[in-house]
Structure 1
């Protein structure tokens, strides 16, 4: 396993917010997903596809892939009979990276191949062992960010509920990501499709505790997720005022809205403005 030796750097302000899963055996949905407001699209060969459809799904994904529309592919877990065949998709120029389910230790062959071909890795923490090894996962070469598979994690841990029961685990993934100098993690899916209030509350909580994005299972969830992770008009106005005040201060101490402006405040303002300038899709 290769780890980063450089000190942590500030997470990217332009990190993708919404990741949309699309079943790999539903090629009729691929174009619609790509045309959606998702920052990133994940063609799913794992949970969304039954065992008897795995080969069909892989063929459908392979036929659709094109470098003009780069996507992530969620492959099957390393201990499944489909893993090795799924890895053959890695060299396709239409694949920007691989999402690895049930991640506990990343296969060295997969990591080396991703490094060789310039692909990104998104390990999903879904088990107690994966959580215990989150630091190792986060510091593995080619890992861009961690994702939290909340539903499977609850089953593995015997937990009930998606709020206080997972707060420690969510916060720890945020911390490990920051220490590794990678992008803020992705929170798990909200299964309540069509319930905007629940989705909004889930996403607001994710952002509040430091997540940088969220996994989505339906296009109807994208706009709300993108909105919740985007800076508000008030945030942008405040950040602009801070930057303008700094530019006019010529090094003197200043205050904005009656509050002292120091380095953490400046960094926060710069991050807000950087996020506001994001592209619709980051790839």
Structure 2
């Protein structure tokens, strides 16, 4: 089946445990989109309770994604059945490793790329007809390779930065999403107190054209929104570029001493699209 293009209501996607229904409305109030989590945020003994809460406590369906368990787990089919009993239709499937794992159910799916096999098959997954987005996960990826951390430690150069494999997967996810025209969601920044690190990663995500960034704490939302909102100077530049493109009918021209051609016109269009998104 084919599905319509999906775009989040804004750039800040906040995880919320599905077994905590008293947090649903608060999470929606604080973020652009809420990811109601049936996977890692819920203990095994609470999975059934989380599905019941999902069904029994409906909130704005157009601003909700439901994270479901991986295809090779007993919880997967139960999660799908629960989602079908709600108005929610966009799911985020954990640890996707093939296109078949999401086409089997056909729901509009954000494929979470967080295993080595998923990473090397990301293009195949992005091409699936019901894939509407890609997200990647750094810590599961590191664990799946037998590693101990996705980032450099405090006593190493580039403290806090992603190690090479994580950076590679982050870039590959972005490329695959762009190639197949699906949304790209950047990974969570798990160090809640590290505001500077979060801000730097958001800026980098925006520069690479990521659609949104996921987060685990409401305090991170404002920094994500601010990072995705272009500065007044960039908006002014983009408007000059688009005005010039119209005046010159697509030919090469200059704005503030800078030569403008096709790629820069596309960048200006992307900047103005983020104004609309915000």
Q: Shorter chain as normaliser: what TM range? A: 0.7 to 0.9
Answer whether contact 2:228 2:274 (CA < 8 A) is retained.
Answer: no
Residues 251-279 of structure 1: per-residue CA shift (max 9 Å, x gap): 6642001112211121211221122012x
8 Å CA contact 1:70–1:93 kept in 2: the answer is: no
Distance in 2 between residues matched to 1:87 and 1:250, nearest whole Å: 50
**Distance in 2 between residues matched to 1:88 and 1:250, nearest whole Å:** 53
Contact 2:66 2:88 in 1 (8 A): yes
Q: How does 1:1-283 map to 2 (within 5 A)?
A: 16-36=10-30, 38-66=31-59, 70-92=63-85, 94-107=87-100, 111=103, 113-114=105-106, 119-159=107-147, 160=149, 161=151, 162-165=161-164, 166-183=166-183, 185-249=184-248, 253-278=252-277
Whole-angstrom CA distance in 2 between matches of 1:201 and 1:273 = 21
Q: Distance in 2 between matches of 1:267 and 1:13?
A: 19
Q: How big is the shift at 1:158?
A: 3.5
Contact 2:18 2:54 (C-alpha < 8 Å) held by counterparts? yes
Task: Point out where structure 2 has 5 or more consecutive residues left out of the alignment.
Answer: 152-160
Confirm or deny: 8 A CA contact 1:98 1:120 kept in the other structure: yes
Question: How far 1:250 moved relative to its partner?
Answer: 5.6
Give 1:207 deviation, angstroms: 2.7
Q: TM-score, with normalisation over the residues of structure 1?
A: 0.84
In the comparison of the two structures, how many residue pairs are matched? 265
Question: Runs of 4+ in structure 1 displaced over 6 angstroms?
Answer: 11-15
Q: Is the 8 A contact 2:15 2:34 kept in 1?
A: yes
Q: What TM-score comes out, normalization by structure 2 length?
A: 0.86
- CA offsets, 1:118-149, max 9 Å, x none? x4201111110111110111001111111001
Query: 1:70-99, CA deviations, whole angstroms, 9 ceiling, x for partnerless residues?
Result: 411111112222111111133345313111
Deviations 1:202-227 (A, max 9, x none): 22233334433211101111111121
Q: What stretches of structure 1 of length at least 5 have no aligned partner?
A: 5-10
2: CA distance between counterparts of 1:17 and 1:253? 32
Contact 1:34 1:69 in 2 (8 A): no
